[in-house]
Structure 1
Amino acid sequence: MKRSIALIFLLFTITTSYAQTESIAQTKRQYPSVSFNYEQGRIIPTTKFVKGENLLNHPLEHYSSYSLKILWQNPGYKEWQRVYKIPYYGGGISMSDFDDSKEIGRPVSVYGILGIPVFRLKRLQLYTEMQFGMACNWVKYDSVTNPKNLVIGGRFTVHLNLGMTAFYSFSDHFSLGAGMSFIHFSNGGMERPNRGFNIYSPSVELKYQLAGRPAVHSFNPVKRNKAVNDLYLMMGYGNHQLVEHEMDSNYFAIAGISAIFHRQFSNAIRLGIGTDLNYWMGLTANPDGTMGRRDFRNTTIGIILQPEMVIDRLTLVGGIGIYAVHLNYGNFRQTYQRLGVRYNIYKNLSLGLNVRAINFMLAEFLEFNLGYTVKGKSLRAKR
């Protein structure tokens, strides 16, 4: 299972460089760059462990990270690059420090990167940057050797970084950046305890563009695609541990099917509404955390609004829903969220991974999924 997580997360890194690989075959000039980034941030005190219930007996406040990024920013060779106004994309590796290596370790992250421009002047540019990948080298919870770390329950976690960075180009090859980002580490409830880390951090970055700066201020605009309606069908599966029995070693399966009706509003954005039908083995667990009797009460039904960003064959998935039927939460009383990525592996067939959560903070489970899109006809063609 851990190998599967690694493969899915590395898929994001590979696919963010997909267009770059294709354009090499077209013998067009490449514009790679190397960036060195340093973050010095603050850990948000969302858990007792962070607030001071740890072996150090004081709050964990400081976070630092050193990163190396390999990026490309080609001047619109592919349509998706022009749709996103010539973004930069690639992969990175980071080493982080929480000032408590004995209980937390020094995690190493590998992730894909996408930077989308907000505005550009002649030398000053502002980008939103997204990083999505995996982190390892944690010191996880252990009832004997690491009993107070209720934040990290497994050796692998999600690495999620959302931020904004401004770059100033002081030559054709060198740029200096400064930014602010939100960082999250958790394993999606796959191995508990899993309270996770939430961090906000300013950063500085030095970028060296090996082939000089690409022409990002002028490019051929993309013709707006015709609006279409699609039906996305998904089968999902995951294992998780119960929050109320987070110290146990019992794992429960979650399987489900989803149907999302999408409307593509632009070349980059589509919005969907649909339903999630899941069967949770753990909903009827016994009071001691062992497997209980399973029947229709294990079934949950959710209604979800799901916006998505389309980047060639890669899709970034978001979503907010409400449980219409749920044994523990009641009916129409608890919202839930979905955040993930999927990739079209063959025609309309896709492979992906989502994190399902509640209250925007508590991860419930990782949702490995296989999907199929039923393509609709052009709406304009019907007029």
Structure 2
Amino acid sequence: MALTYYDYRNPVLGKSYAATVYLNKAFLRTARHELNLRMGTGLGYFPVRFDQETNHKNLIVSSRLNATLQLRAEYDVAISEHLGLLLGVGLNHYSNGATTKPNLGINIPTVVVGLNYHQQRPFRPLATVPGYVPEDIGQNFLNLSGTLGYKQRNESSRQKYLVNSLTVIAGRRINRKSNLVAGVEGFYDRGLLAEQRDTVRNGEALIDVKKAGVLVGHELLFGRMAVVTHLGVYVYNPYKSNSFYYERIGLKYHVTERLFGSIDLKVHRGAADVIEWRVGMKL
């Protein structure tokens, strides 16, 4: 777990506090050296946010609570039996996933220098022991899931609208760390109906706001947890409210062998569309 504090030295942004859970994937590990990739997610708190009357220049942060994503490359070299010198470069991202607008978000590149304490060095979990092979490598699976999210249409309207989706994904575990997946999904964004009602002329029929897409993706596995990345293309999209493709990044956890949940961020051309809370079943 990581606790992060920033002072932006700017009265429009103020300060931020965040708590993040993260995983380290080791690319190199010897008795004295480690090279890791850190991936994490959590919640950030901003005491100062957008306010139409008192802080209208803050187009970056409009809600006090925000999701945070952390990505960092780390090099650790032993300087004693338990202490390691840590060097790294990283990126911290803060966004509320368009639940409240405006929401440009913050991306903070960082250079890291610090100390690590190792209770045991070198550390060798079961998954790195030579000869360890998960039983389901080469097996196919099917995931059925649904999501719930909400978003604000624009900064002038404070009302939130529900967004739902249903997803069917077929996948295959190809090695110890990876699943490859492909699937279809449907979306229903009630905020798009409100958007149409504000602009349509009297008597005009509303365009169908339901969307359907196909996707391909990858799951980076850490035991019961996985980092999910998807790239999708809309194949049914009558109401052209966004680009023809979308991306998704998420953190997935298997509560049991069959039941899983995840928190996903759906994105259009780098701009957050909605945070999805997902529950599903593996068959």
Indicate how the Cα distance of structure 1 residues 365 and 344 shifts in structure 2: closer, same or farther if over 3 A, else same: same
Identity %: 24
The question of 1:213 aligning with 2:121 is answered yes
Q: What CA deviation, in whole Å up to 9, does each residue of 1:256-289 have, x standing for no partner? A: 1000111111122101111120111122324685
1:204 maps to amino acid: V
Indicate how the Cα distance of structure 1 residues 222 and 158 shifts in structure 2: closer, same or farther if over 3 A, else same: same
Indicate how the Cα distance of structure 1 residues 281 and 287 shifts in structure 2: closer, same or farther if over 3 A, else same: closer
Contact kept in structure 2, 1:275 and 1:303, CA below 8 Å: yes
Contact kept in structure 1, 2:29 and 2:122, CA below 8 Å: no
1:372 maps to amino acid: M
In the other structure, the counterpart of 2:185 is: 276
Which of 164, 170, 187 is residue 255 of structure 1 equivalent to?
Answer: 164
In the other structure, the counterpart of 1:96 is: 6
Contact kept in structure 2, 1:239 and 1:254, CA below 8 Å: yes
1:98-247 counterparts in 2 under 5 A?
Answer: 98-100=8-10, 102-209=11-118, 211-216=119-124, 219-225=129-135, 226-242=137-153, 245-247=154-156
Contact kept in structure 1, 2:99 and 2:152, CA below 8 Å: yes
2:178 maps to amino acid: I
Unpaired runs of 5+ in structure 1? 1-90, 375-383
Contact kept in structure 1, 2:209 and 2:239, CA below 8 Å: no
Q: State the secondary structure of the residue aligned to 2:265.
A: strand
User: How far apart are residue 338 of structure 1 and its match?
Assistant: 0.8
Structure with more strand by fraction: 2
Q: Within 1, Cα distance between the matches of 2:223 and 2:30?
A: 27
Indicate how the Cα distance of structure 1 residues 98 and 296 shifts in structure 2: closer, same or farther if over 3 A, else same: same
Question: Matched residue pairs, number?
Answer: 278
Q: State the secondary structure of the residue aligned to 1:350.
A: strand
Q: State the secondary structure of the residue aligned to 1:139.
A: coil
Q: Within 2, Cα distance between the matches of 1:266 and 1:295?
A: 48
User: How far apart are residue 126 of structure 1 and its match?
Assistant: 1.1
Q: Within 2, Cα distance between the matches of 1:318 and 1:166?
A: 25
Q: State the secondary structure of the residue aligned to 1:95.
A: strand
The question of 1:352 aligning with 2:268 is answered no
In the other structure, the counterpart of 2:246 is: 336
Q: State the secondary structure of the residue aligned to 1:249.
A: strand
Q: What CA deviation, in whole Å up to 9, does each residue of 1:291-335 have, x standing for no partner? A: 99997712001111121122222222111111222244379x521
User: How far apart are residue 342 of structure 1 and its match?
Assistant: 2.1
User: How far apart are residue 177 of structure 1 and its match?
Assistant: 0.9
In the other structure, the counterpart of 1:267 is: 176
Q: What CA deviation, in whole Å up to 9, does each residue of 1:183-242 have, x standing for no partner? A: 211011111111101122111121122x34244498444125331111111111111112
In the other structure, the counterpart of 1:22 is: none
User: How far apart are residue 124 of structure 1 and its match?
Assistant: 2.3
In the other structure, the counterpart of 1:12 is: none
Which of 233, 236, 256 is residue 325 of structure 1 equivalent to?
Answer: 236
Indicate how the Cα distance of structure 1 residues 131 and 294 shifts in structure 2: closer, same or farther if over 3 A, else same: farther
- After TM superposition, the structure 1 stretch with the greater mean CA deviation from structure 2, 336-345 or 283-292, is 283-292
Q: What CA deviation, in whole Å up to 9, does each residue of 1:67-95 have, x standing for no partner? A: xxxxxxxxxxxxxxxxxxxxxxxx11111
Indicate how the Cα distance of structure 1 residues 205 and 373 shifts in structure 2: closer, same or farther if over 3 A, else same: same
Q: State the secondary structure of the residue aligned to 1:251.
A: strand
Contact kept in structure 2, 1:270 and 1:308, CA below 8 Å: yes
Q: State the secondary structure of the residue aligned to 1:250.
A: strand
The question of 1:308 aligning with 2:216 is answered no
1:280-291 counterparts in 2 under 5 A?
Answer: 280-286=189-195
Structure with more helix by fraction: 1
1:179 maps to amino acid: G
Contact kept in structure 2, 1:250 and 1:289, CA below 8 Å: no
Unpaired runs of 5+ in structure 2? none
What RMSD over aligned residues (CA atoms) do the two structures have, in Å?
2.5
Q: Within 2, Cα distance between the matches of 1:290 and 1:141?
A: 26
Q: Within 1, Cα distance between the matches of 2:248 and 2:143?
A: 15
